[in-house]
Amino acid sequence: MDILNKVKNDRETEKQLGWEGTFAEYLDLVKENPTIAQTAHSRVYNMIKNAGVKEKDNQKMYQFFGSAIFGLESAIESLVEEYFHPAARRLDVRKRILLLMGPVSGGKSTIVSLLKRGLEQYSRTDEGAVYAIKNCPMHEDPLHLIPQHLREDFYEEYGIRIEGSLSPLNTMRLEKEYGGRIEDVKVQRIFFSEDKRVGIGTFSPSDPKSQDIADLTGSIDFSTIAEFGSESDPRAYRFDGELNKANRGMMEFQEILKSDEKFLWHLLSLTQEGNFKAGRFALISADELIIAHTNESEYKSFISNKKNEALHSRMIVMPIPYNLKVSEEERIYQKMIQESDIADVHVAPHALRAAAIFSILTRLKESKKQTVDVVKKMRLYDGESVEGYNQIDVEDLLNEYSDEGMAGIDPRYVINRISSTIIRKEVPSINALDVLRSLKEGLNQHPSISKDDLEKYLNYISIARKEYDEIAKKEVQKAFVYSYEESAKTLMDNYLDNVEAYCNQNKLRDPLTGEEMNPDEKLMRSIEEQIGISENAKKGFREEILIRLSAYARKGKRFDYQSHERLREAIQKKLFADLKDVVKITTSSKTPNESQLKKINEVIARLIDEHGYNSVSANELLRYVGSLLNR
């Protein structure tokens, strides 16, 4: 009964939010809160802005899209700042169709869906309240009632510009129902709803031979002509096309470039002049955002046709590429799995990361810089520290190609292969090797992969496998080291004490005997060699560590083993090197003794409790890492 109570409460809330009054009373509301009279573009922009904006690395992060769009911060920022923001300020871009252009499964439809659902919710808030002439099929703006010759006076008094003319139907109603008294015209608050066709519309082209333009602009109701006497009587016209119903909000034009020309020409007048032609009437005003989406090949074909120049000039094209960050790609897969019927299947940690590594590699282009391979590029894009590179290098890489991310493996393919793995394996758990194997097997069946790409993609599967191998070894390493963080801290503190003494040419004091000792060169080299620091380079590396240590101390910050990327890697590798033989013997022994069995059980328990594995995936991981170490 809880859900029925919530439905009832929702119904009651909508009743409480409802408002009805005369145009004179509506003007009092407008005077008190001028944002009520905002345009459709302004409403969309304010909805996005009010959801919250954060800034990270000079990048604006719009919270409105944050729960469903991952890794497209730059594209979203361009969309908001280059289209919605200036359009909200009544600049010329609002007179353009917004065309989202990008590869399949890249997020275009998700963005449109978010805007639609967002507007539905926003119209139920005080900030997004929308008012319309009562019983108007187009939910017309009440301010259209103000005569054209008085609008300058209205602007001086209210500070609001009125655009658009009163529709033919409301012009007739004003005379016949209200005797020309605009102050008595009934106004009501409306709530956007795609299902109820209020303020949100969707047009999808079908066979041009059978589809009627009435789907866009409405049509004559022939059954009423006998009653009203003429086809030009607005009461004999059904204002029920998508352009009519989407007035005050937004209309999604699906597959716009596949539409017949007769449907597209109506958009020219609507976008440029804010009106469209329907029936035997004067131009009908409409205030709505037209948003469409297409893929790159269709767009190139469209612009190559000279006949489309007029429509092309009325478009703002926003590229929506694939995400290029591994960590964000993981989130996409997690979201898709949670929304599916396979959400109850255990996906072992890092299985989705292995798939994400493969996907991102297929979307990256080889850098023009010879020192940067695709793996380095992938890590830099994901925010990882790579020796010798900084944020400026990342920005340079991002600017190398304007179309990077417009091709490659799409998220749906990966989820389809994961689903295939689960169904075929028929167990409640899958791991990274299962996923990579399934991705590899599916490449031959992928319709759009050429022979050259296939060879490249198979290589990327191998790279993803190698990346996973390193992750798997580190995972087992952490589980084998009892209190891993404490062991790492102890080893690092010991190293730092020795480095400080070495750089300052001091001696260390033995904590037990009090005896003075030289810095432990053997210990320092055993750690530095893990990351390839040569004998000649050791002095520079140690001085770099000491400078970083001093900088942290000056700022009152605590230096730990996570504070220096390369030192952290060296500490991890040193700990694992010391344990490698133990891990090898323990994981590969067919008949482990009591001590080994105890150790295995401890490690499995730690993998389950602290690392997110279940008993099946933890045992599979141990066996796999054992085989890696025994090669």
Once rounded to an integer, what is the mean pLDDT over residues 335-351? 86
Q: How confident is the model at residue 393 (pLDDT cuts 50, 70, 90)?
A: confident
Task: Specify the residue for token string 């493969």.
Answer: 358
Q: How confident is the model at residue 587 (pLDDT cuts 50, 70, 90)?
A: low
Q: Decide if pLDDT at 376 tops 70.
A: yes
Q: Distance between CA 552 and CA 562 in Å, rounded?
A: 13
Task: Specify the residue for token string 């979307």.
Answer: 363
Instruction: Return the amino acid letter for 278.
Output: A
User: Could you tell me what percent of the chain has a pLDDT over 70?
Assistant: 95
Residue 619: name the closest of 597, 592, 600, 593 by CA.
600
Show the DSSP H helices in 339-410 as ranges. 351-363, 374-381, 391-398
Phi/psi for 276 (5° steps) reads: -145, 160
Q: Decide if pLDDT at 483 tops 60.
A: no
Helix, strand or coil for residue 262?
helix
Once rounded to an integer, what is the mean pLDDT over residues 612-620? 90
How many degrees, rounded to 5, is the angle at CA 63 between CA 18 and CA 405? Answer: 130
pLDDT value of position 150: 95
Please check whether residue 607 is in contact with residue 613, taking contact to mean a CB–CB distance below 8 angstroms.
Answer: yes
User: How far is the CA of 359 from the CAs of 127, 336, 394, 566, in angstroms?
Assistant: 41, 15, 20, 27
Q: How confident is the model at residue 249 (pLDDT cuts 50, 70, 90)?
A: very high
CA dihedral 536, 538, 541, 543 (to 10 degrees): -100
Q: Distance between CA 578 and CA 12 in Å, rounded?
A: 67
Instruction: Return the amino acid letter for 317.
Output: V
Q: Decide if pLDDT at 513 tops 80.
A: no
Which of 287-301, 494-508, 579-593 has the least mean pLDDT?
Answer: 579-593
Once rounded to an integer, what is the mean pLDDT over residues 523-544? 91
- DSSP-derived secondary structure for 277-315: --TTSSPEE---EEEEEE-HHHHHHHHTSGGGHHHHTTE
**Beta carbons within 10 angstroms of residue 143's beta carbon:** 23
User: How far is the CA of 427 from the CAs of 342, 349, 499, 604, 608, in angstroms?
Assistant: 12, 16, 51, 19, 18
What would the pLDDT profile of 105-144 be if each residue is shown by its tens digit? Answer: 889 999 999 999 999 999 999 999 999 999 999 999 999 9
Which of 14-23, 35-44, 218-227 has the least mean pLDDT?
Answer: 218-227
Please check whether residue 360 is in contact with residue 378, taking contact to mean a CB–CB distance below 8 angstroms.
Answer: yes
Residue 588: name the closest of 507, 512, 476 by CA.
476
Q: How many residues does the chain have?
A: 631
In which element (H, E) is residue 629 found?
A: helix 615-629
User: Could you tell me what percent of the chain has a pLDDT over 90?
Assistant: 48
Please check whether residue 259 is in contact with residue 265, taking contact to mean a CB–CB distance below 8 angstroms.
Answer: no
What would the pLDDT profile of 185-209 be if each residue is shown by its tens digit? Answer: 999 999 999 999 999 999 988 776 6
Q: Decide if pLDDT at 589 tops 80.
A: no
Q: What is the mean pLDDT of the chain?
A: 88
Show the DSSP H helices in 18-39 as ranges. 23-32
Q: Decide if pLDDT at 586 tops 70.
A: no
More confident residue, 21 or 262: 21
**Beta carbons within 10 angstroms of residue 365's beta carbon:** 16
Q: How confident is the model at residue 482 (pLDDT cuts 50, 70, 90)?
A: low
In which element (H, E) is residue 442 found?
A: helix 432-443
Name residues whose C-beta falls within 8 Å of residue 605's C-beta, 6 or more positions apart in sequence.
none
Q: What residue ranges in 33-117 does DSSP mark as E strands?
A: 53-56, 59-62, 97-101
pLDDT value of position 297: 84
Q: What is the sign, positive or negative, of the torsion defined by CA atoms of 39, 43, 44, 45?
A: positive
Please check whether residue 199 is in contact with residue 180, taking contact to mean a CB–CB distance below 8 angstroms.
Answer: no
pLDDT value of position 199: 95
Q: Distance between CA 403 and CA 1 in Å, rounded?
A: 52
Q: How many CA atoms lie within 13 A of 158 on its CB side?
A: 24
Helix, strand or coil for residue 489?
helix
Q: How confident is the model at residue 51 (pLDDT cuts 50, 70, 90)?
A: very high
Residue 276: name the closest of 378, 179, 167, 175 by CA.
167
CA 298 vs. chain centroid, Å, equals: 23
Show the DSSP H helices in 147-200 as ranges. 151-158, 168-178
Phi/psi for 2 (5° steps) reads: -60, -45
Q: Distance between CA 360 and CA 463 in Å, rounded?
A: 12
pLDDT value of position 166: 94
The single-letter DSSP state of residue 427 is S
Residue 400: name the closest of 380, 383, 419 by CA.
380
Q: Decide if pLDDT at 256 tops 90.
A: no
More confident residue, 170 or 387: 170
Q: Distance between CA 615 and CA 215 in Å, rounded?
A: 57
Once rounded to an integer, what is the mean pLDDT over residues 419-425? 77
Tokens of 228: 């009203």
Q: Distance between CA 539 and CA 529 in Å, rounded?
A: 13
Radius of gyration for the alpha carbons in the chain, expressed in angstroms and rounded: 32
Q: Decide if pLDDT at 388 tops 90.
A: no
Q: What is the sign, positive or negative, of the torsion defined by CA atoms of 429, 432, 438, 439?
A: positive
Tokens of 446: 């992928």
Decide: residue 426, CB within 10 A, 0-12 exposed, 13-18 middle, 19+ buried: exposed
